[in-house]
Amino acid sequence: MNRVELTDKDKQNCLLRQGDLLFARRSLTAEGAGKCSIVKEVLEDTTFESSIIRARPDTSRALSDYLYYYFGSYYGKALMRSIMRQVAVAGITGSDLKQLEIPTPPISVQQSIAYILGMLDDKIELNRRMNETLESMARALFKSWFVDFDPVIDNALAAGHCIPEPLAARAETRRALGPARKPLPENIRSLFPATFAFDEEMGWIPEGWNVVNLDECCLFQEGYVNPSQKIAEYFGDEIKWLRAVDLNDGFVFDTTRKISKAGFESAGKAAYLFKPDSIAISKSGTIGRVGILKDFMCGNRAVINVQPRPDKCGTQFIFRVLKFYNRLICELAIGSVQKNLYASALGSQKFVYPNIELVKLFEEESGVLSSRMASNVSQCISLAKLRDTLLPKLLSGELRIPEAEKLVSDSV
């Protein structure tokens, strides 16, 4: 966080308090301008920059949490669009923001609405934290087996074999664990060798493992579906249209935009649907962002679809390979004005490949974690949709507070 010096007068006017609402004054995208955040806690003197508008609600008339949820709803976003100005960038002004008319039910109703929607947000946050833990477990497992080669080092130590000098520090760390270094079950440990071999490109790797290219284990399909923005009938709700912005280094259940069948077919012979449980990686813009697809979708020119060959590897293994070697993969992009990562270049990325038995075992072990993460993400999507539909129904009277409370309690 940046630090600035403030006078006493500045502090009176510019410090944030708990419950303040912060609005994005300007954004490169229309969706970002006017976006509302709420200050939940202030641990030290904190101010805000000129691209932010601070609003401090009169809590005798409107509660901060209620307003935060209102501006995050369809109604609130529509209000923001009504005052948005578009020149070089999209933006709003404080004077226009002051003029917005907002429905303010009785404080007791606002409290109930904020509590109900807050329950959904709390569950979404809990799922997010759970997924952080599960992700770290899956990442650690891949690193231990296929990067640090811990099981191979353990086998070498148990057999009394020499450890190559570059791996000596890791071996000493393993040895120092003593009884805490729990060996893998024999049926798993036996799948790992107990010696190392030197490879000219990768250095010391487990004996019997190989250095291979990605294209030896995967099939690649570049996205080519780019319907003309000028033809309205090319866009609709029929087919999910994957773009780089939809990739979040996790699971992709949905896309921010969708196209019609006509829009899909406008790509001609290049029209291609990516399959569920395949992987996509961004090839331009922010290069190297990856995602595991959870539904059929087509891709635009900014993404590459990666399908693991079943006889060589699986989705979980290749997903981890793409994430671990991400920096090197990004360096494969070429171009003078805008860099692009082409499928041919992606396929040339080398990595250490064990054997199909170990890959299958990793798929099983990591797959359990992945399934739990995917389930959590799916639930978060459902909870967010419920949250976004409850407020309009409560304000219109279509839904009463007790009914909304039951819906939420049944969902969380």
Here the CATH number for the domain that contains residue 259 is 3.90.220.20
* 1 belongs to a structural domain: no
* 39 belongs to a structural domain: yes
- Report long-range pairs for 377-382 (Cβ below 8 Å, ≥24 apart): 377/127, 377/131, 377/250, 377/251, 377/253, 378/253, 378/294, 379/123, 379/127, 380/124, 380/127, 380/128, 381/253, 381/254, 382/411
Q: Which of 151-165, 167-181, 194-208, 342-356 has the lowest average pLDDT?
A: 167-181
* 201 belongs to a structural domain: no
* 324 belongs to a structural domain: yes
Position 87 scores a pLDDT of 66
Q: Which residue among 353, 374, 391 closes a domain?
A: 353
Overall average pLDDT of the 256-277 stretch: 92
pLDDT for 192 beyond 70: yes
Q: Of residues 117 and 75, which shows the higher confidence score?
A: 117
Q: Which residue among 49, 77, 104 closes a domain?
A: 104
Position 88 scores a pLDDT of 65
Q: How confident is the model at residue 203 (pLDDT cuts 50, 70, 90)?
A: very high
Domain span at 222: 215-353
* Distances in whole angstroms, Cα of residue 134 to Cα of each of 131, 178, 180, 370, 372: 5, 26, 22, 8, 8
Q: How confident is the model at residue 231 (pLDDT cuts 50, 70, 90)?
A: very high
Position 4 scores a pLDDT of 74
Nearest partner of 266 among 234, 221, 300, 299, judged by Cα: 234
pLDDT for 304 beyond 80: yes
Q: Give the percent of the chain with pLDDT over 90.
A: 77
Residue 61: alpha-carbon gap to chain centroid: 37
Sequence-ordered list of residues with C-beta below 8 angstroms from that of 52, at least 6 positions apart, any chain: 22, 23, 24, 25
Position 47 scores a pLDDT of 87
Q: Which of 11-15, 123-127, 360-364 has the lowest average pLDDT?
A: 11-15
Overall average pLDDT of the 325-350 stretch: 94
Angle at 227 between CA 221 and CA 229, to 5 degrees: 140
* 169 belongs to a structural domain: no
Position 295 scores a pLDDT of 97
pLDDT for 11 beyond 80: no
Instruction: Write down the mean pLDDT value for the chain.
Output: 92
pLDDT for 350 beyond 70: yes
* 267 belongs to a structural domain: yes
Contact of 234 with 262, CB cutoff 8 Å: yes
Tokens of 23: 């609005």
* 293 belongs to a structural domain: yes
Q: What is the domain count for the chain?
A: 2
Position 74 scores a pLDDT of 86
* 94 belongs to a structural domain: yes
Overall average pLDDT of the 136-148 stretch: 97
Nearest partner of 222 among 298, 319, 288, judged by Cα: 298
Q: Which residue among 104, 122, 141 closes a domain?
A: 104
Residues 96, 225 within the same domain: no
